[in-house]
Structure 1
């Protein structure tokens, strides 16, 4: 029963907010984030998706939802255990869902089976998790088998021509416009996703299409270009953090003979700096040993092998460079780097690979780094470069256009294949205190971290405009 109503929507007796009449719901897809291990440090795309999901969870607007793609190809609101998995901060009260208890959850699972009796085993696994509130173990396995048996029973009734059990009504409404996660963009069958409703997508980059030689050969990478093209053909708008990626996407579609998508540019949020601000941990820390920071997944595209060669060259020439700290998890196509490190084991005395680090550890690195490097061959943005600026750390970047954009054109840039140029720039940055200080001053005068709220406002405004446009086009005769 509705007890209160305003232009913003309604509030039910149990505290649920409802969407105001005439407004289209906007949804952020958390499917990709659900696959990231809880409690593990986030980097790159998962960090951006965590920001989006948590901004939507904290938003009091009843038109905003957080959803995940189910095995049946439909988006549905998150179950309580999924909320627990993805939530990193405050959740708007009307969005909090409590586990209804095993008996009620099992009844709802059976109802879902009756509605979609031909769904696959993956659906049964998801339903079992909703019944056990995400807990694994004997109860989960028993529940999964029970749900599977009930599904087979329903199918048998249908095949035998018996009247199937009444499916009941679904309490979940299909969202109006969904900003899909990178996982849905690259890993799911397009025909399944196309039936899920109106979609929008974050275009982080077009690297799998532009430089397939720098990407693994997984099915998501090899089909990336065709996936994008199918999405754009449906009228899905794109959200890009850099002008470079927006222009590249438009050019790619033009060459493919496809009408360019509507592109919304949003400012990349300074998520880590915002975390540091809440911790009162943004000021510089002086360390006894200078070091250089490179925060990035270790993969062929990021060009760590260039840095390894430079530090090895310095060792051979008797030149003392600051320690190189490579913060990030080990990724793919890094066999040449591993072979190089095996050939020059003494290099590990001056180069440290930290593996995946927590936000707290990464903040400490940025606060105390002498300077940063980012020699990547190609980027959609380059978080490690903009994070250096957020913490006032000078950084040498490659000439990849998005990296120059991410660093505001304020920092020195060197071609990623120019080892001599990088060696000279790193030596100068290490030895020339006056130059390093002038770059730090340039950052202080010209760069400001981007609040997450500003990024969310831009994305939400773009989604709302796109939803309104699509609604108008659908209603037009």
Structure 2
């Protein structure tokens, strides 16, 4: 698209000519798939990976040529290779996005060029390039190519140290830069260049500030320790934030002000009801009755999620002779759960009342939501709390903690109790299990006041925010 104007004459007869025609090129909007590339294929997605998978697949399905999916490789955000597309796509890659493998010789030449441009890349970069050359296949050829690429990288480093290698620009002069919505992994990896100006114009999903506010709940992972400094670097550079809850947006703004940093532009997007949409496609949203009543807690099992509170409550019920429904904890085992394991070992009878399913598929999780009596979500701190909002999506009431994001995720419709108030939780769980009239009133409240959020609405909001940010970045970059 161009803007055209014909020559014009002034009152004195002089001809004025319009400036040179300049094409109006829409900005490129890129969704970063780096984080999802590290998630094992075929494994159930939850939390942050589920949201990032939704974004990546929404971008793959979008027919807009100005939308693309990238990953951070060899010092730059680059379009996905064919085997990477297959790894992150839910189902087949749409024809307008599908890429053909360029062949071993071409891929090897492109890999050598990537090494020349970024000789200080690490071993994981060599592995990725080797997979590109072998089209995602392992075996002898992969290992041979990986060793060849590593040898070439060491050669390029030696030339650089000896001053025999000229600098190679990481980006062509005058090229339009993409606005990249980076994945959570970028904020925890050890390559600081990924959040620098070298990487281009960036935006970030701020799922939460837990690594900054409550590092005591995350263990000693060094990657999480980088989160705060990387976040501040992004905000200083002018990167906008995309938040699923107003609570996280406000927390981010307050944190930056306390650090003496001008807060970022914050875009609030509605969290999509991904699992409910999957269930709708399957025709599996209607209620089914369980053979035995049970309470559901869908969450990774980690110290922050406060499973030990529930274990103590179910143990208290056993000791008092109170019959509570079975508790089903759906989710993989995570970190800092030694106190929970010790408590379960000290009270072996609890395993008759509590079931830990481990990681479950979407189909299994949908079945749990359709048949649970009610849900619980006593987490100490959250950015959103998917398991709580998914309860409402499937029409079942849930008791949540008083952390602001959980109250927001459930629309203020559900009972909320402090995560450390065992007596309050015990009383609420007993009432939910025994007072059918109260539970039914909450079910009616959900039916009247809650609606699942279509993924298309979430993607449209995020895309509009990215377009606004990209236009703003372009104006700044072109300002004299």
* TM-score, with structure 2 as normaliser: 0.91
Task: Kindly state the Cα deviation for residue 472 of structure 1 after the two structures are TM-superposed.
Answer: 1.3
Residue 29 (structure 1) aligns with? 32
Pick from 248, 256, 260 the counterpart of residue 257 of structure 1: 260
Deviation at 1:176, TM superposition (A): 1.4
Q: Using the TM superposition, give the Cα deviation of residue 318 of structure 1 relative to its aligned residue in structure 2, in angstroms.
A: 0.7
Deviations 1:425-446 (A, max 9, x none): 0001001111111100100000
Deviations 1:266-302 (A, max 9, x none): 0000000000000000000111200000000011111
Q: Deviations over 1:338-367 (max 9, x none)?
A: 000000000000100000100000000000
CA deviation map 1:103-145 (0-9, x unaligned): 3322322333344455444332221110111111101011112
Measured in 2, the distance between the counterparts of 1:168 and 1:431 equals 65
Report if aligned partners of 2:2, 2:24 keep a CA contact under 8 Å in 1: no
Within 2, Cα distance between the matches of 1:157 and 1:220? 31
Cross-structure match for 1:69: 72
Cα distance in structure 1, aligned partners of 2:101 and 2:156: 26
User: Is 2:397 the partner of 1:403?
Assistant: no
2:307 maps to 1:301: no
Provide closer, same or farther for how the CA distance between residues 176 and 161 of structure 1 changes in structure 2, counting only shifts above 3 A. Answer: closer
Alignment: residue pair count: 459
Partner of 1:432: 435
Q: Which residue of 2 aligns with 1:369?
A: 372
* Deviation of the 1:6 alpha carbon: 11
Matches within 5 A, 1:213-232: 213-232=216-235
Distance 1:39 1:254, change over 3 A: same
1:47-126 equivalent positions in 2, closer than 5 A: 47-70=50-73, 72-89=74-91, 91-126=93-128
SS in structure 2 at match of 1:223: helix
Q: 3-state DSSP class of the match of 2:199?
A: coil
Distance 1:50 1:240 in 2: 16
Distance 1:322 1:313 in 2: 13
Q: Check the 8 A contact 1:296/1:384 in 2, yes or no.
A: yes
Q: Which residue of 2 aligns with 1:16?
A: none
Distance 1:450 1:167, change over 3 A: closer
CA contact (8 A) 1:393 1:440 kept: yes
Q: Which moved more, 1:60-69 or 1:92-101?
A: 92-101
CA distance in 1, matches of 2:155, 2:183: 35
Q: Structure 1, residues 248-275: CA drift from partner, whole Å, max 9, x if none?
A: 1000011111111000000000000000
Structure 2 distance, partners of 1:45, 1:355, is 18
Q: 1:306 to 1:155 in 2, by over 3 A?
A: closer
1:21-420 aligned at under 5 Å gives the runs 21-70=24-73, 72-89=74-91, 91-153=93-155, 175-194=177-196, 195-420=198-423
Distance 1:65 1:282, change over 3 A: same
Distance 1:120 1:211, change over 3 A: closer
What's the CA shift for 1:82?
0.5
1:11 corresponds in structure 2 to none
Alpha-carbon spacing, 1:160–1:450, altered in 2? closer, same or farther (3 Å): closer
Q: Is the 8 Å Cα contact of residues 179 and 470 (structure 2) preserved in structure 1? A: yes
| C-alpha deviation, 1:58, in angstroms | 0.6
Deviation at 1:158, TM superposition (A): 6.8
- SS of residue matched to 2:459: helix
- Give how far 1:388 is off: 0.1
Output the CA distance in 2 between the equivalents of 1:159 and 1:184: 28
For residues 449 and 340 of structure 1, do their structure 2 counterparts lie closer, same or farther at Cα, with a shift above 3 Å needed?
Answer: same
C-alpha deviation, 1:423, in angstroms: 0.5
Query: How does the TM-score come out when normalised to structure 1?
Result: 0.91
Deviates more, 1:192-201 or 1:143-152: 143-152
Uncovered stretches (5+) of structure 1, i.e. residues with no partner: 8-19
Contact 2:85–2:93 at 8 Å: present in 1 too?
no
**Equivalent residue number for residue 425 of structure 2:** 422
* 1:74–1:193 contact (8 Å) kept in structure 2: no
SS in 2 for 1:178: strand
CA distance in 2, matches of 1:420, 1:246: 32
* Partner SS, residue 372 of structure 1: strand
Which piece of structure 1 moves more, 135-144 or 217-226?
A: 217-226
Q: Per-residue CA shift, 1:212-235, capped at 9, x if unaligned?
A: 221222122223222211110000
Q: Which residue number corresponds to residue 17 of structure 1?
A: none
Distance 1:389 1:332 in 2: 28
